[in-house]
Every structure is written in structure tokens, then in C-alpha cells.
Structure 1
Amino acid sequence: MIALTASIERRAGGFSLDVSFEAPPGVTGIIGPSGAGKTMALQAIAGLNRPDKARIALGDEVFIDTADGISLPPEKRNIGYVFQEARLFPHMTVAANLDYGAKRRGPGAPASRAEVIELLGIAPLLERHPASLSGGEAQRVAIGRALLSAPRLLLMDEPLASLDIRRRREIMPFLEALHERLRLPVLFVSHNIDEIVRLADRVIVLHGGRIAAKGGVGEVLNRLDVQNLILGEAEDDSTGTILDAKVLRHDDADGLTEVGGEGFRLVVSKLVSPEGTPVRLRLRAKDVALATAAPSNLSIQNVIEGTIRLIEDASAGQVSVTLETRDRGAAIHALVTGRAARLLGLKKGMPVWALIKSVAIAGGK
């Protein structure tokens, strides 16, 4: 299994980047506020800037080692790079843009031309020119061109940032399909927590040029200190909980699916995935209400019993409450008003029931 290993130090103006990490095959999400050093790190890996001190390698192939005087030029690194803008050649058709990527093809292509076209759903676009494409269509073509160069590593620098919500929703299923099909290391930079939750296997949080946290998506992004670091810049500014679950059963009569994991079971709108399929869920803290007695006769179907583990003041007169499920299998964040917390007498160790008004399916189908 070929992994990327990177240790990078670079100073530019008054900013200093100093990071070390490993990215195995699969998607490693990189998230952090503007100016955290995300793009600078990707550019160093691609050979688009010159670090002051670095060792970057993909398996046994060393891209740069300043101590040994090694520095491969960008074209020798066999890296695919997808920018915020599609950067297609305007005078070429989509087919010709794809063929340009294939001309730079190295050995061991992750997918054939036909597979890339099918995965990205771009067969109807092949004879069109970039000017006639929507933003989402153009970005899918740009991703296809990068893949057809047969990269051993794919860098994606906020590839959805320039798209509106509708275009992002259009392209996300194609990115998920790529994630399932390709087994090369992918670094995916985003400001959007939902994109990271939906696509990434692991995550790196950058802040001020340093790694603030890294690890599994739920392990890292469920931490309130991490959420507070990134939410000021994130497009979805709601704290929340990420849960890994599996499809347990389908209720065809009511059009519902039961999903569950350690310490919880939830009902969601019917999914197409078979029983046993892993899914990733996101519960926004603002969509979780609390009760101090077992509720009854509710329209809300998802209720989880737990114990308050932590209470912290949040912004704008709100209180952040973390509860642990009854068998300690999961931690769930809720956001309530300070007034509600006082009236309910919330305190650490108190049994409570979480009333979950909405569940977002962030991964799986």
C-alpha cells in the first residue's frame, strides 16, 4: 500500500508552515480557516513552491528532500492537481481536453478513459466546448483530465468552492463514486464540513500553519475544540455530531430505513442501500432538543437516552451540551438556549433524552 509521507517547513512573508503527516490510499480531507496553509501545503507537494525544509515521498519515490538535495520538477512527480477553477483549454472540446490528460499518462493508470467518462457521467459532453458547460460539468471534466494523466497521487484544492449549492449537489455523487473506485492517495481541501464528512476517510485540521488535529473523521470532527477552530470559516456553521452506522432494516410500507451503531438506532427516509451497508450520519447540534424525562406522544421519531457529560457556554446566549448514550457507545452534541438550560436544571451526570429533529446522511446511499 503506497502512502504519501510529507514533512514541510516554509516561510512566506509573515506566515510559517510547519506540518508533518501521512496520507494512505483513500481520501484525506484537509480543513481549516482561510490562511491556515492548506493550499501552500498542496503546492509544496506538487512542486509548485519551494519549501525551506522538506521531505515528501510517495512510497519509495522521493519528490523532495532538502537535506539530500533532491527536488523533482512538478512534471516528474506524476501528480494530478484539480484547482478551484476547472482551467480547461477553451479552444478544445471536452474530448480533446481529456485526451490532453491522457498524453501525459504515466504507468499504472487508476482507470481507463472509458471508465473515467462513465464514472464522471461526461459522455454527453464530449463534443462540447468549455464555454458551453456549467460549472459542475466543467469541474467534472477537469477531474477526468487529471485522472487520465494516470496520477499516483491526486490533489484537490477546494474543487467545489466556486460552485453554487445546486452544482455542488450535482457533482458530489460523482466524487463519491470516484472515492469508491480509486485506491490512490487523495488530498481533498475544503471549507465545507459536510464535504469532508461525506468524502473523507480521515481528516487533517490546519490552523495557523500547524496541524491542530488529525485522525478519523468522526474522532476529529466530533471534538468541540476542533469545531470551534473551523466553524468561523466553514460554510455550514452549525456544530454537530458525526456517527458511523450501518443499515439495519428497511420499512417499505412507511418508506423508512433503520440505521444504527454502537449505542444508538435512528430512523431515516428510505435508503436504497442493502442491509449491512455502512453509512455516515451527521446530526446538527441545533437539530437536537433535550428532555429531562422520557418523552411520549411525539411526532419526532428519533429519541436517544443518555447522560450529560459536558456543559459549556456557547455564543449568543446558547449552551453546548454533550451527552453520552446509555451504553457509552456514542457522544451527541446539542445546542440549547441558556434559558432552557436553566429551566431544565441541566448539569453534568444528569440523565436526559435527545430528541433528534433531523438526520443528514453524509455518506453511503
Structure 2
Amino acid sequence: MLTVAMKKKLSDFTLDIEFTVTNNILVLFGSSGAGKTTILRAVAGLIKPDEGKIVHDGRTFFSSTERKFMSPQLRRVGYMFQEFALFPHMDVRKNIWYGVKQDNITSRELYERLLGLLRIEHLTTRFVDKLSGGEKQRVALARALMAEPAILLLDEPLSALDSDTRLELQAELKKIQGIWNIPFILVTHSLEEAQALGDQFLFLERGKQVAKSIPWLNNFVQYPSLNQIN
């Protein structure tokens, strides 16, 4: 279980949120600049909140009262960036293995499993510039999972894809979360994507939590203005 209760002063407002996520998918959504990516960065340890506490399964990532801040390297948090952040000078295999601490039987078995699960066995010798958007997404996801994270953060991972590829990868993300059985926190601007992927929902508006659950999500077509979030 991941528990987050934090405040962080940003340029236009103070992010002030509190939530808990178990081994399922929490979707963060709201307008641009509402604080969604800041939450991901705080969980990953890339920024330090001003106040609060972040705890995962009894491990304190951050506590302002206890003056604790665990370095990102120790948190076992996978982070899949919106732009994928793949290395263009490396082929797919080297991208996936980047950051893996030990090359052993277990890691090799995991590598082969990910190739099969994400259907990218035929891409291992290709370089990034030879990949489609969907292929880059799969490689970036494989790299994030190769580190065997205890939490996976995804910042608009499907935003650059065409509609058919997006639908296909939504199903794959849902399946992978069920296999890995760890908390996924996903940022999206799309209510359709939130509906397809989310088990929990947190709507943000200028750093404030508007609702923990969105009872109208299944009927979002009745609220056309909300489809314009960007």
C-alpha cells in the first residue's frame, strides 16, 4: 500500500493532496499544470515535498516530521516518462537492460518474459529511430519493469499514439498491472483512458483534490465540457 499526504508550494498555488493506493491503478487527471506530474516526481524522489509523508509498505520515502528523505535509487519506483526517454544511441536490448544492477539467471528470465509479454522479441537489435510510437511505448514499459519496481509511475504514456494503438496498449497495461500486482499511478487528460484503465480516480484542480472517486465517470458523455480537459 502506498500512502501519500503532502504539500508542495508551486509557482501559482500549493499542491495539497492526500490519497492511498493499493495494488491497482490510480488515475490522476485534471487540467495541465494542476500538479499531477509533481505528485509522480515526489513519489519517485525527484523532488522533495515541503510537508507531509510518503510511505510504501512500511518504508518511509519521505517524512517532514521525522526529517527523512529516501533517495530515488532506494525506492524501487519505476517511472515511465511521457516522452519515453529512450536512449537513441542504444538498441532496444541495451535500452531495456539500462540500469539493471545484476545480469543473472533471474534477470535474463525476466527479460525474456517481458519480450514475450510485450511482443517485442523482433525489435531487440533495432535503434530507437526505427521504432513506431507503439513500439517505443512497449520498450519504455519493458525498461521500467526490468528494474522490478515496487511501484510504477506513468506520465501520459499513451498520449502520442493513434487511437487503435492506444486501445491495444490500454489492454496490455491493464493486463501487466494484474500480473505484476503493484500500484500503478497514471497521469492522463483523457476521460476515456481513465475509464478504461482506472480502479481509483483522483481529480486535481490547482493542486487540490476535487474528488477521490468520480461517480459520473461511466456517464462522462453527458458532461461534454469535461472532455475538453487539456
Q: TM-score, normalised by structure 2?
A: 0.90
Q: Distance in 2 between matches of 1:223 and 1:196?
A: 12
Aligned 1:1-365 pairs, distance under 5 A:
3-103=1-101, 112-215=110-213, 219=215, 221-222=217-218, 230-233=226-229
Contact 2:152 2:182 in 1 (8 A): yes
Aligned residues: 226
Q: TM-score, normalised by structure 1?
A: 0.58
Contact 2:120 2:138 in 1 (8 A): yes
Which 4+ residue blocks in structure 1 deviate beyond 6 angstroms?
A: none
Classify 1:227/1:18 alpha carbon distance in 2 versus 1 (closer, same or farther; 3 Å): farther
Q: Can you list the C-alpha shifts for 1:68-90, whole angstroms capped at 9, x where unaligned? A: 11001111111000011111111
Query: Counterpart of 2:3 in structure 1: which amino acid?
Result: T
Q: Distance in 1 between matches of 2:183 and 2:92?
A: 26
* Deviation of the 1:119 alpha carbon: 1.6
Contact 2:99 2:147 in 1 (8 A): yes
What are the ranges of 5 or more consecutive residues in structure 1 without an aligned counterpart?
A: 235-365
Secondary structure of the 2:79 match is strand
Secondary structure of the 1:138 match is helix
Secondary structure of the 1:68 match is coil
Query: Counterpart of 1:88 in structure 2: which amino acid?
Result: L
Identity of aligned residues (%): 35
Q: Can you list the C-alpha shifts for 1:201-236, whole angstroms capped at 9, x where unaligned? A: 111111111111113x6x352587x957843316xx
What are the ranges of 5 or more consecutive residues in structure 2 without an aligned counterpart?
A: none
Bigger strand share: 1
Q: Distance in 2 between matches of 1:211 and 1:172?
A: 25
Q: Distance in 1 between matches of 2:192 and 2:97?
A: 33
Contact 1:4 1:23 in 2 (8 A): yes
* Deviation of the 1:185 alpha carbon: 0.5
* Deviation of the 1:174 alpha carbon: 2.0
Bigger helix share: 2
Identify the residue that residue 283 of structure 1 maps to in structure 2. Answer: none
Contact 2:195 2:218 in 1 (8 A): no
Q: CA RMSD in A?
A: 2.4
